[in-house]
């Protein structure tokens, strides 16, 4: 905002300006003094952008089929007489208050493996598969060959 202090009526202001933005004498104002952009500022083109009127008109012409959807009033009317007995249920606040001071002991998990430490066993047979193979062998069928397994 430019602050000009006049020493005479407005129609004589050109010759009678006392100060401009609290500067006196021969005053040169910069872009910053009048909140303007510097002369080398690149203003982007607005070519191809939609005007506010275009957008407002386009939005005004949007038609949405809400067939099958319930209005807020319909839902309010439908549930206005619903009575739910929540006796015996705890509110979130009650539960938070009840558990906030519980002292949970530290559990030593040094003897347990992390999920990342458990090897991939997808290439191995399950117990049921092994029992089925043993039963086949016991019935006289030859066991299938397996890499690295000798009989």
Give the mean model confidence (pLDDT) for residues 54-77: 93
Q: What is the pLDDT of residue 26?
A: 72
Residues 77, 74: Cα–Cα separation, whole Å: 5
The 8-class DSSP code of residue 115 comes to G
Residues 82-127: tens digit of each pLDDT = 999 999 999 999 999 999 989 888 899 999 999 999 999 888 888 8
Q: What is the pLDDT of residue 135?
A: 84
Residues 143, 133: Cα–Cα separation, whole Å: 7
The 8-class DSSP code of residue 127 comes to H
Per residue, the 3-state secondary structure of 83-94, as one string, reads CCCCCCCCCHHH
Query: Distance of CA 112 to CAs 18, 30, 119, 120, Å?
Result: 85, 72, 14, 17
Residues 6+ apart with CB under 8 A from 90: 98
pLDDT at 129 over 80: yes
- Sorted by where each begins, the domain ranges of the chain are 4-34
**Which contiguous run of DSSP H or E holds residue 18?**
strand 17-20
Residues 13, 23: Cα–Cα separation, whole Å: 16
pLDDT confidence tier of residue 24, bands split at 50, 70 and 90? confident
Query: Distance of CA 50 to CAs 42, 46, 102, Å?
Result: 21, 9, 60
The HSE-up count of residue 132 (CA atoms within 13 Å, CB side) is 6
Give the mean model confidence (pLDDT) for residues 27-51: 84
Q: Are 1 and 35 in contact (CB under 8 A)?
A: yes
């Amino acid at each position: 905002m430019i602050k000009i202090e006049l020493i005479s009526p407005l129609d004589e202001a050109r010759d009678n300006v006392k100060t401009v933005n609290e500067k006196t004498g021969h005053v040169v104002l910069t872009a910053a003094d009048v909140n303007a952009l510097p002369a080398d500022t690149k203003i982007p083109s607005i070519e191809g952008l939609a005007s506010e009127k275009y957008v407002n008109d386009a939005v005004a012409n949007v038609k949405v089929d809400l067939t099958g959807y319930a209005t807020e009033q319909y839902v309010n009317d439908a549930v206005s007489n619903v009575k739910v007995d929540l006796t015996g249920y705890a509110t979130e606040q009650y539960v938070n208050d009840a558990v906030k001071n519980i002292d949970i002991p530290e559990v030593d998990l040094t003897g347990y493996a992390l999920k990342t430490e458990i090897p991939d066993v997808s290439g191995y047979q399950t117990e049921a598969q092994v029992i089925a193979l043993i039963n086949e062998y016991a019935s006289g069928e030859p066991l299938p060959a397996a890499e690295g397994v000798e009989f």
